[in-house]
């Protein structure tokens, strides 16, 4: 992974710089002849409508390219500043070392604050939450990497200028719903229109992004994120059901033994109090377990939705 990053980051930086220069060129000097050729290839519109489309596209193109160029400039300018700031964070490994060294002490002190009655269930729920969130974050990172490689490879294969940079930028922004695909597809289509001036290549770019969205929505995300989280919740749900059934059997056997003992002793008051206490304990424990099961059911329902 480190070797791959060392190889791909310089390429992304170089292509992003070229992309900024490319956009700056068309912001200051838009190739009007290219736009006219592209628009007038569609012969089904009237000349008046084509002129209106031409003017609207010019205004929209100037705005979008100005916005995209400014955004990319700010991203890389901020990146340079961030690198300078990050040079000061050599303290982080030291702090991390001491946090990890004392991590058991932190967790033990936290667990000591939980009431004994709820400690077991609370710790179990915290561990379940930690596993679920960490699984989601890891899955989302994998989704961004896979989609970044897919878009970069697809755009590079059709010969799009700065295709690798555009692909990885799109993949990186994928963690924001719709924003990554919308930003990347808009910018890639504009670059392809200005570079190739051909509807065929514009269609190829659109097809790459449509296919990417289909793969993300139906294969990649459900496989890496949805199935992992759902399987964990299902496993925990089944374990809770088995635990509840086991406790029901144990409590029922305990109450039965006490009842038989009370019956053999002529239903003495002391024995009867134990029976009544056991029955109350049964109701309280079952109520707590059923409340936990309701929580898992709601969590499972949210994931399935």
279 inside domain: no
Structural domain including 31 reads 1-103
207: confidence class by pLDDT, cuts 50, 70, 90: very high
Q: Taking residues 152-177, report their average pLDDT.
A: 88
47 inside domain: yes
Q: Note the pLDDT tens digit of each residue in 23-53.
A: 666 655 555 555 555 555 555 455 666 666 6
Cβ atoms within 10 A of the Cβ of 248, count? 14
Q: In sequence order, what E strands does the chain have? A: none
**pLDDT higher than threshold 60 for residue 276:** no
Cβ atoms within 10 A of the Cβ of 221, count? 19
18 inside domain: yes
Q: What average pLDDT does the structure give for the chain? A: 71
DSSP string computed for 193-210: HHHH--HHHHHHHHHHHH
pLDDT top residue among 108 and 189: 189
The number of distinct structural domains making up the chain is 1
Tell me what pLDDT residue 304 has: 46
57 inside domain: yes
37 inside domain: yes
Closest CA to 32 of 54, 10, 6, 5: 54
Burial (Cβ within 10 Å: 0-12, 13-18, ≥19) of residue 165: buried
165: confidence class by pLDDT, cuts 50, 70, 90: confident
pTM: 0.53
34 inside domain: yes
97 inside domain: yes
216 inside domain: no
Q: Taking residues 173-191, report their average pLDDT.
A: 86
């Amino acid at each position: 992974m480190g070797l791959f990053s060392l190889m791909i980051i310089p390429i992304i930086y170089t292509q992003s710089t070229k992309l900024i220069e490319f956009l700056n060129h068309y912001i200051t000097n838009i190739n009007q002849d290219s736009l006219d050729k592209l628009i007038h290839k569609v012969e089904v519109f009237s000349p008046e409508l084509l002129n209106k489309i031409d003017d609207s596209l010019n205004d929209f193109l100037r705005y979008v390219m100005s916005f995209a160029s400014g955004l990319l400039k700010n991203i890389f300018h901020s990146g340079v500043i961030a690198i300078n700031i990050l040079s000061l964070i050599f303290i982080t490994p030291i702090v991390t070392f001491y946090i990890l060294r004392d991590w058991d002490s932190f967790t033990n002190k936290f667990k000591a604050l939980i009431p004994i009655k709820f400690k077991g269930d609370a710790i179990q729920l915290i561990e379940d939450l930690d596993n679920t969130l960490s699984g989601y974050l890891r899955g989302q990172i994998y989704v961004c990497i896979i989609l970044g490689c897919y878009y970069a490879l697809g755009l590079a294969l059709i010969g799009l200028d700065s295709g690798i940079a555009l692909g990885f930028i799109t993949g990186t922004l994928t963690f924001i719903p719709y924003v990554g695909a919308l930003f990347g597809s808009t910018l890639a289509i504009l670059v392809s229109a200005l570079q190739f001036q051909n509807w065929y290549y514009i269609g190829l770019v659109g097809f790459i992004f449509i296919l990417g969205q289909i793969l993300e929505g139906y294969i990649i995300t459900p496989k890496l994120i949805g199935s992992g989280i759902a399987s964990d919740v299902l496993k925990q749900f089944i374990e809770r059901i088995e635990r509840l059934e086991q406790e029901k059997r144990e409590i029922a056997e305990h109450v039965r033994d006490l009842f038989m003992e009370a019956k053999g002793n002529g239903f003495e008051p002391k024995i009867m109090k134990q029976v009544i206490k056991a029955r109350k304990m049964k109701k309280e424990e079952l109520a707590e377990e059923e409340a936990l099961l309701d929580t898992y059911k709601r969590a499972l329902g949210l994931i399935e939705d």
